[in-house]
C-alpha cells in the first residue's frame, strides 16, 4: 500500500527527463543513449564503479536485466568516478564489465553523478525527487513516463524484493 501511495504521489510530479537533454547520455559504445527511446518502459538507472566493494552487484544487475528485459525493463549502468573507484577510460570499463560480468545492458560513458558537474539527469533527480547518489551502486527506478518511483542506496541488492516488487508492479 505504501508503494502504491508513493507511486500515486509521484504521478502528479513532473517527469525527470520530460523529453529534455537531461535524458540523453553519451554511450560507452559511442553515440548517445536517450531515455526517450525507452518511453513507456521502466528504467533502473544505477551509478556504477569497477573498483568498489559493491562491484559484484554487476552480476545481480545483469540477472535483473535478463529476468525482466523481455517484459520491458531497461537497466542503465552509469559508470562514474565521482567516488574515485572507476577505471581510467570508458574502453577499460567496457572491457572489464563484459569480461568479468558478461554485461550486455546499456551503459553510458563515464559520467558525473554528483555536485556541480553532475549530469543534468542527476541534477533533475535531485531537484525533483530529492535524491543524489551517496556512493556507487545507488539505484533510481523510473516508471515508463520518467517519474522517479523509487531510490535505493548501495546495500540494496538489485534482485532484492525492495527493487523487484516495484518493477513487477510497473510491468503488470
Question: Rounded to an integer, what distance in angstroms lies between the CA atom of residue 122 and that of residue 49?
Answer: 16
CA distances from 103 to 13, 65, 98, 118, 165 (A): 33, 10, 5, 24, 23
Active-site annotation holder among 10, 16, 45, 52: 52
Contact call for residues 125 and 132 (beta carbons, < 8 A): yes
Q: Which of 59, 37, 40 lies closest to 48, judged by CA? A: 59
Q: Is 11 marked active-site?
A: no
Contact call for residues 79 and 119 (beta carbons, < 8 A): no
Residues with catalytic function: 52
Amino acid at each position: 500500500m505504501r508503494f502504491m501511495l508513493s507511486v500515486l504521489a509521484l504521478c502528479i510530479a513532473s517527469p525527470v527527463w520530460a523529453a529534455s537533454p537531461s535524458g540523453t547520455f553519451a554511450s560507452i559504445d559511442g553515440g548517445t543513449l536517450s531515455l526517450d527511446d525507452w518511453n513507456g518502459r521502466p528504467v533502473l538507472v544505477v551509478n556504477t564503479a569497477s573498483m568498489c566493494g559493491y562491484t559484484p552487484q554487476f552480476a545481480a544487475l545483469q540477472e535483473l536485466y535478463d529476468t525482466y528485459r523481455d517484459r520491458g525493463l531497461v537497466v542503465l549502468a552509469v559508470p562514474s568516478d565521482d567516488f574515485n573507484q572507476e577505471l581510467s577510460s570508458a574502453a577499460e570499463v567496457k572491457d572489464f564489465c563484459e569480461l568479468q560480468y558478461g554485461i550486455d545492458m546499456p551503459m553510458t560513458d563515464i559520467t558525473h553523478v554528483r555536485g556541480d558537474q553532475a549530469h543534468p539527469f542527476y541534477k533533475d533527480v535531485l531537484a525533483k525527487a530529492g535524491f543524489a547518489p551517496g556512493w556507487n551502486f545507488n539505484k533510481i527506478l523510473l516508471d515508463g513516463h520518467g517519474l522517479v518511483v523509487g531510490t535505493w542506496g548501495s546495500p540494496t541488492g538489485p534482485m532484492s524484493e525492495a527493487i523487484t516488487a516495484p518493477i513487477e508492479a510497473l510491468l503488470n
